[in-house]
Amino acid sequence: MNALRRISRRLVPLALGLAMVGCGGEQFQDLKQFVADAESVAGTRARIEPLPKVDPYEPFVYNQAELEDPFRPRKIEPSKSAKGQIQPDLNRRREPLEAFPLDNLKMVGSLQQGKNMFALIRTPDNNLFRVRLKNYIGQNFGLIIELDETGLKLKELVQDGAGEWTERITSLFLQDDTETTR
């Protein structure tokens, strides 16, 4: 067995070498001749355009001392024209429904006594309030300006980013209060 292994170790590389020599014959000679002929004819040689000029890299210098800090809170100064314009009466006595955001209040009904129309407003803690024209509700100084069986309209005063007060008309409509309270 030992002699057979020695012989096979010598014959395998020899057989591989002969197989490789057999592949290198004149098999692709016609293709090599075509390429040589094509290169010799003027104008058929491929032209490669030169690479475009690349500008050198210029690093950006970040100088934080000259730039404004984006995380520092800034106070927005109101414009001079805002003084003397619309402003809420901050000295008046607050009404109970002004403690709640308007979206937490629900109009659940209306009633009329003589010529006076009232709306029934339910708070998140299930208390019921009766309101009429010129009452205030909501946290944006909402004054009731219209009232009927289906809803009410408010004139709210809100402050914009520049500190100026602007009026906004908001509505609160009658809602079906099907929630059962325990």
As for how many domains the chain has, the answer is 1
Domain membership of residue 117 (yes or no) is yes
pLDDT in tens, 143-176: 999 999 999 999 999 988 777 889 999 999 998 7
Residue 180 — pLDDT band, cuts 50, 70, 90? Answer: very low
The pTM of this model reads 0.52
Rounded-to-integer distance, Cα 110 and Cα 116, Å: 11
Domain membership of residue 39 (yes or no) is no
Identify the residue whose tokens are 């709306």: 119
State the sign of the Cα–Cα–Cα–Cα dihedral 141, 146, 148, 153: negative
Domain membership of residue 153 (yes or no) is yes
Domain membership of residue 154 (yes or no) is yes
Domain limits at 150? Answer: 95-173
